[in-house]
Amino acid sequence: MPAFGRLTQEQIVFGLAVLLCVGFALTLPGFLTTSNVLNLVRSVSILGILGVAMGLVVIGRGIDLSLVATMAISVAWMLNMIASGMPMPQAILIGLAFSLIVGAVNGWLVAYAEIPAIFATLAMGTLVYGFGRYFLFSLDVAYLPDAAQSLLWLGQGRLIGVPVPIFVFAAVCIVSALFLRYARSGRYLRAVGDNMLAARITGIPVRPIVVQQYVMSAMIGYLAGIVTAASVASMNTRLALSTYVYDVILVVVLGGIGLSGGKGGIRNVIVGTLLIGVLLNGMTIMDIQYTVQNVIKGGLLLTAIVIDTIVNPRDEQTAQQGDI
């Protein structure tokens, strides 16, 4: 994806992140404080984990707008089950199963019912939130019960002085990168995203691969939800109604993963996460109003989509898929 001369979009975004970080360090008194840096790396890690989940779907020429809603509801339900007396391992497995079922249904709607991904996952996110609030629990916020205090280590613990969420993010990145590069289904996923018709002609099981990418997205999102709950000792289900999912999409697109599918990788998610994480943290320190932050993020997302359209043009066949 050549952008300026020999520079790639990934390199440009990384350079912008470094410049932004230096600028904030020189102009914002509280930016380099220990507490702020720790908060930054924790929040960036969670955003990055969700970015990896979204990135895998986008590489496969899809999108998952239900990602945050599924994460919030499944983890909140898990916490409520533990609070009601259910053993923690069992509650974690049930929450995971719920998340995987949602991912599988998303994949089936896109692959077999051939509903455009943007509509299928948008409707699924609304459905999951409404179902969870009406049938599974009634409160907006689910708090970490005493029986699950051991989970706090995932969000607030440290290894050799480094916050544990950083290690979780690194592990997710490494496993996902190895999956895309060496696993047969990972190579199939990239091939399906690059050219679905060509992949089908060569014998790749296109529909199961599409289902797989949404299941993987839901699984990684569930892990991000557990880390989130462990970081703040609660899960606010109102997160499903926020613009957080668009922050995740911004990380993916701005980092350089093409919306046309088949292009980009985990490194793109990392640099996109770094830039957006630093930007959001700096705007918070400057006490910029939430609505103004949304304007800035919306402008960046629109700009990133325009750049992606220019750099990764969709041909007639990809346009017929209607995924985006």
Query: Using one digit for the tens of pLDDT, what is the confidence trace for 27-77?
Result: 888 787 877 777 788 788 999 999 999 999 999 999 999 999 999 999 999
pLDDT tops 70 at residue 317? no
Q: What local confidence, expressed as pLDDT, does residue 281 receive?
A: 84
CA angle 187, 190, 194 (to 5 degrees): 135
pLDDT classification of 300: cutoffs 50, 70, 90: confident
Amino acid at 201: I
Query: Using one digit for the tens of pLDDT, what is the confidence trace for 126-167?
Result: 999 999 999 999 899 999 999 999 999 998 888 887 889 999
pLDDT classification of 320: cutoffs 50, 70, 90: very low
For residues 253 and 245, is the Cβ–Cβ distance under 8 A? no
CB-CB neighbours of 86 under 10 Å: 15
Q: What percent of the chain has pLDDT over 90?
A: 63
Q: What local confidence, expressed as pLDDT, does residue 243 receive?
A: 87
Q: What local confidence, expressed as pLDDT, does residue 269 receive?
A: 94
For residues 235 and 225, is the Cβ–Cβ distance under 8 A? yes
**CA–CA separation, 274 vs 48, rounded Å?**
8
Q: What local confidence, expressed as pLDDT, does residue 310 receive?
A: 77
pLDDT tops 70 at residue 90? yes
pTM value? 0.90
pLDDT tops 90 at residue 219? yes
pLDDT classification of 307: cutoffs 50, 70, 90: confident
Going 184 to 52 to 6 to 318, the CA torsion angle's sign is positive
DSSP string, 213-262: HHHHHHHHHHHHHHHHHHHHTEEEGGGGGSSHHHHHHHHHHHHT--TTSS
Q: What is the mean predicted confidence (pLDDT) over 296-302?
A: 87
pLDDT tops 80 at residue 211? yes
| Burial class of 49 by CB neighbour count within 10 A (0 to 12, 13 to 18, 19+) | buried
Query: Using one digit for the tens of pLDDT, what is the confidence trace for 238-277?
Result: 999 998 999 999 999 988 898 888 888 999 999 999 888 8
In the DSSP assignment, the letter for residue 146 is G
**CA–CA separation, 208 vs 303, rounded Å?**
33
Residue from 14, 41, 32, 12 nearest 275 by CA? 14
Share the mean pLDDT of the chain: 89
- 3-state DSSP helix/strand/coil percent for the chain, to nearest 5? 75, 5, 20
Q: What local confidence, expressed as pLDDT, does residue 86 receive?
A: 96
pLDDT classification of 107: cutoffs 50, 70, 90: very high
Residue length of the chain: 324
pLDDT tops 90 at residue 3? no
**CA–CA separation, 311 vs 40, rounded Å?**
31
In degrees and rounded to multiples of 5, residue 78 shows phi and psi of -60, -45
**CA–CA separation, 280 vs 250, rounded Å?**
12
**CA–CA separation, 171 vs 225, rounded Å?**
16
pLDDT tops 80 at residue 7? no
In degrees and rounded to multiples of 5, residue 261 shows phi and psi of 90, 155
Q: What local confidence, expressed as pLDDT, does residue 182 receive?
A: 94
Which two tokens mark 13? 């975004």
Give Cα separations from 189 to 56, 70, 116, 322 (angstroms): 8, 22, 17, 18
pLDDT tops 50 at residue 192? yes
For residues 70 and 239, is the Cβ–Cβ distance under 8 A? no
Q: Tell me whether strands 2-4 and 7-8 are parallel, antiparallel or unpaired.
A: antiparallel
| Burial class of 64 by CB neighbour count within 10 A (0 to 12, 13 to 18, 19+) | buried
